[in-house]
Amino acid sequence: MGGLNTRGAAPKQDRSRATRQRLLESAVTCLAEHGWTGSTVTVVAEHAGVSRGAAQHHFPTREDLFTAAVEYVAEERSKALRSPVGGDGEPAGTRSAVEMLVALYTGPLFRAALQLWVAASNEPQLEPRVTALEARIGRETHRMAVEVLGADESVPGVRETVQGLLDMARGLGLANLLTDDSARRERVVAQWELIVRDALAR
């Protein structure tokens, strides 16, 4: 009976989706912790508690797994950020907006993405996929930044002000790679919140 088949298929699909999700999250964790060289499909499958065969069923190649993983986590992050801001449609204050944008570049997703970007710069089979992924994540991050800042991009210079702020956030993320840079970062962010507020008000 159709009804029984559907009930039978649904838990299987759920399990498959849960396995896929565990693999994606483990891939980001491994990439952030061990870098590209240390993050093989076997390492990720073990971390996710999944067989290597099951991992390869979901992601035929290592490149498939890691580009999907960074994209998945970026989308989750983007959904999470959209909910409090998009809820009432109001932009956050400049202060919390700048803090929120900088926070995007100091967590495990940025560490993982950084490992993937740098590996792609030396691996021809990874490079085109990561370049396309970087462009997609970049566009989405810019869209979010405009929204949380309440920036009006029809005003000349505003688009570049927002872009430069995101470049700064990326640079702050890189400065946090080897040492805990949070004390310095806090002072820089406090000063640049004032500067960005003035620049956007002109």
Give the phi and the psi of residue 110 in degrees, each rounded to 5.
-65, -40
CB of 191 to a second copy, least distance (A): 4
CB of 161 to a second copy, least distance (A): 6
Alpha carbons within 13 A on the beta-carbon side of 150: 13
Q: Candidates 11-19, 64-72, 81-89, 163-171 — which segment interacts with a second copy by CB under 8 A?
A: 163-171
Q: Which of 20, 22, 47, 170 binds a second copy (CB under 8 A)?
A: 170
- The structure tokens 């797994």 sit at 65
Residue closer to a second copy (CB basis): 81 or 165: 165
CB of 3 to a second copy, least distance (A): 51
**Residue 144 in contact with residue 75, Cβ under 8 Å?**
no
Q: Which of 34, 82, 95, 197 binds a second copy (CB under 8 A)?
A: 34
Alpha carbons within 13 A on the beta-carbon side of 83: 5
Residues 38-57 that bind a second copy (CB under 8 A): 38
Residue closer to a second copy (CB basis): 10 or 195: 195
Q: Which of 41, 101, 109, 114 binds a second copy (CB under 8 A)?
A: 114
CB of 121 to a second copy, least distance (A): 5
Residues 120-159 that bind a second copy (CB under 8 A): 120-122, 127, 130-131, 134, 157
Q: Candidates 41-49, 51-59, 65-73, 187-195 — which segment interacts with a second copy by CB under 8 A?
A: 187-195
Binding-site ranges for a second copy (CB under 8 A): 33-35, 37-38, 111, 114-115, 117-122, 127, 130-131, 134, 157, 160-161, 163-164, 166-175, 177-179, 184, 187-188, 190-192, 194-195, 198-199
